[in-house]
Chains A and B, each alone.
Chain A
């Protein structure tokens, strides 16, 4: 029988933060956030299934300042998890696992996910006719 106090993951606070560890932790946090975001997406779909009145309420919440802030965070979490997930898949295939490329792909993921977030928001405002 296994004892109950076998070691789990290491204590994170004794390590100096580095791009590699920060992105790894961010991948988990964005993953957790995306499950919550998916739950809100289901709520939005349920509102749409209920009819125009319920959907208008959902759209008003999404369009309020806190709704837009949450959507912005959700978009960043989605794009980061998407880009960094592709990075992980490349590693699983044995590609780019040397230190130089780990840092190169890491910064690329940061910049690309920020650009995609800003780009999708700009496109959203454009489709709403904001400019």
Chain B
């Protein structure tokens, strides 16, 4: 508000005279280096994958809920994977389960969530023209796109896509003779994931560099919105852990194609004793889960950051415990690297390791609990507006709490003996990671849609979408805990082989119906999303009356985000309902000198620094849009 647009003519920069030609269609919309376009590319690709991933889950849930049904009507989609009797092929069932996990964890909730919101929000919320490297950013999307094409093509192989579970443990994933999907399907999976990892690393480096180097004047780390903290910590997590997955997959490629024995030892299969000795499948599991555990926080932290922002804005209150929120995110991030063994309690690894990992795992529950309590205290004595984004954020907190609590059971190695690889685990991670992060994705889309597309989504449809999905997800995953307690193992095609799995047929049917119902409810969102892009009401500049910097940019921000100077920042982004203030929000770019009526004592002392803030010019990005 206080930033007066100086006459740009007064300052002569040489490059001012360089006039950027209007970019052609390809450079503007396809191979764009603009972070906002790239964010939308990630979002659309993520939505595509989400539809596919959830459709897959509906198919295998049909098998589990209605094992005797005739699924011939699926033949137009699945061809020979449905046999003459109308039953889904058991090999393909495993492929569905595997691809569902791979798609949802990596392509939807990592690329689709981080890729969209880190890209879109980081420059806009820290006050930057664009990412540190637009070129690397563009590469990161296109590597992701190529990885997507390769993974998608694996679905059409005659032998089927990879089918050893999303964790692709060898030797099953190393030996084509062990499962048809372990042939070309696995090769394509590995190729796709290698490119995917490259994409994530390129993106992550960019996010971190941008946050460190391109914050606007006055935007100290302690004034950053929690979204940015979350995205940056997530990027650091990814930077350290994804290369280890790369190494795990690289060694797997070596075992598959170059005769090495990293993971293989003493195997007799298909009538022959393989020559490999000395390797260990446990090595793969260690390497995989060294990424695998931080990965779940990579999936969850952006959603938590988004929730912080949305809950504060829509409660009209500061987020409670800003510094505790940062500290807990840092604590979670650090501990994320030392708990991976809790996925491996019954692998045969040394039991002493089991004890160590149990201790560390239960420690990580503490900062997570702190975050949940802080969200709830933010709601307390707020003045809550139930925008769809707010609804999804509240729903996320409920999922995070409910799913997180069962994690305490699973982190206890003695209890994990019975529950490992049962539906109890499936229920746990779907609630705490799958549903919570999906809700973060939805909340983010509803909240920042006006900024992305200059229009509003339909509020009512958003609220209906929330309630149907929220209820639906609890109906799907809550009963699953019972099925797990009863000992039902994961990745089972059907439950007819054992007496101990003869129960709960009705419950499995119920879960399937709820799952299909919830899947259909998502079409409300899809309709709302796509039709609002073209026919939504035009958005005002700050529809949510929010404090963060992105709402000071024009409704349709162009290249360079702000047409004139980037605003300077004087305060944190959580001055909502400040006593004494005329409005119930004070944006970050409003100096303390202009809010004397609501300043706290220590804030009055900062007025003298304002001129200093405005005079900062670390690089020339502030004045010109380029």
Partners in one complex: no
Q: Which residues of B contact A (CB under 8 A)?
A: none
Q: Which residues of A contact B (CB under 8 A)?
A: none
